[in-house]
Amino acid sequence: MINRVVLVGRLTKDPELKYTQTGIAVTRFTLAVNRAFSNQQGEREADFIQCVAWRKQAENIANFLRKGSLVGVDGRIQTGSFEGQDGKRVYTTEVVADSTQFLEPRNANASSERAHAGSQYGAPAYGAPNEQPHYQNQQPSQQPYQSNQQNYTRTNDDPFSSGGPIEVSDDDLPF
């Protein structure tokens, strides 16, 4: 039997973290997933899919994602039922997330936010519209890596350009 679901969509509201009576973290969220085709009016429709995540994954989702965040979910469909307040049986279907991928940077740029601001389920993902880090004398492609490269010196020198033979002993070989 196979029960596998892969979704890519945007959160419809901020996820809310809760804990069970035994202290296990859980968050439920809804993903708006665009359909692959347009309706008769030429508009793209979306499906709103209920998802649930547990433990550390639930905490990460609640701490790092907001309404409008683009998320990939890999999981399985789970059905259940409970007795409602009116005494009638209520049936549920949700995706239990085995893995989630955050598909946008935490501080999504203003152009991405403007692209989703007009849709009913897409909203700015992280922070204020003009909130961007300021980097002096950096090329755009180097900005995300600035903090990682501060302790390293990069050279373009070829270590083998001396022209002499390379000395290798038997102790240097892995076999």
Structurally, the chain folds into a number of domains equal to 1
| Cα angle 125-128-129, degrees, rounded to a multiple of 5 | 85
> 130-162 pLDDT, tens per residue?
333 343 444 444 444 444 444 444 455 555 566
Residue 51 counted as domain residue: yes
pLDDT of residue 132: 37
CATH code of the domain in which 35 resides: 2.40.50.140
* Best mean pLDDT range from 41-45, 70-74, 111-115, 122-126: 70-74
pLDDT of residue 122: 40
pLDDT band, residue 68 (cuts 50/70/90)? very high
Residue 81 counted as domain residue: yes
pLDDT band, residue 108 (cuts 50/70/90)? low
Mean pLDDT value across residues 18-26: 94
Residue 152 counted as domain residue: no
pLDDT band, residue 170 (cuts 50/70/90)? confident
Domain limits at 104? 5-144
Query: Per-residue pLDDT for 16 more than 60?
Result: yes
Residue 103 counted as domain residue: yes
Residue 122 counted as domain residue: yes
Residue 135 Cα to chain centre, angstroms? 25
Residue 130 counted as domain residue: yes
Helix (H), strand (E) at residue 115: helix 110-117
Tokens representing residue 4 in the block: 């596998």
pLDDT of residue 49: 95
pLDDT band, residue 4 (cuts 50/70/90)? very high
Residue 123 counted as domain residue: yes
pLDDT of residue 127: 36
Residue 79 counted as domain residue: yes
Percentage above 70 pLDDT, the chain: 62
